[in-house]
């Protein structure tokens, strides 16, 4: 996570997993939610993407039940490339090939251990550029 600012946010369905990830990665900045009480996931996706766009060194992690709602919301914002990963292999590829700046985790469909591996992989993997940059530029 050197030279990166990393933010995390979740809705109520992702709160438990987010809490576990913050224990493993205490330098990640938590943007909420602060409990498992029902909230609207777009509020937290918007809050996180606003922070991500402040610097190219900012990265984010969003968590909701399936990952789909957070992903749809995040990707509506120009400059955000959010990808859902339910394992560390996908987390690697969304960084290498898609230059994702937001990792989206399906809180109800990923184990805590796999989520930890996915976050570690996402944060330590670099974009390969080359042919992938040409594709990113077409988005």
Which residues are catalytic, by number? 64, 97
DSSP 3-state percent helix, strand, coil across the chain (nearest 5): 45, 15, 40
The residues, any chain, with a CB within 8 Å of residue 133's CB and separated by 6 or more, are: 99, 127
Give dist(CA 15, CA 22) in Å, integer: 11
Among the listed residues 113, 128, 64, the one whose alpha carbon sits nearest the alpha carbon of residue 82? 64
Kind and range of the H or E run holding 117: helix 112-124
């Amino acid at each position: 996570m050197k030279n990166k600012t990393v933010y995390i946010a979740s809705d109520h369905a992702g709160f438990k997993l987010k809490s576990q990830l913050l224990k493993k990665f205490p330098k990640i900045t938590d943007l909420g939610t602060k409990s498992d009480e029902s909230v609207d996931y777009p509020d937290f996706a918007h809050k996180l993407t606003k922070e991500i766009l402040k610097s190219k060194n900012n990265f984010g992690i969003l968590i909701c039940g399936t990952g789909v709602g957070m992903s749809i919301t995040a990707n509506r914002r120009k400059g955000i490339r959010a990808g859902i990963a339910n394992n560390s292999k996908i987390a690697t590829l969304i960084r290498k090939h898609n230059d994702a700046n937001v990792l989206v985790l399906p809180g109800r469909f990923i184990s805590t251990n796999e989520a930890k591996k996915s976050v570690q992989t996402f944060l330590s993997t670099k974009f390969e550029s080359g042919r992938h940059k040409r594709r990113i530029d077409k988005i």
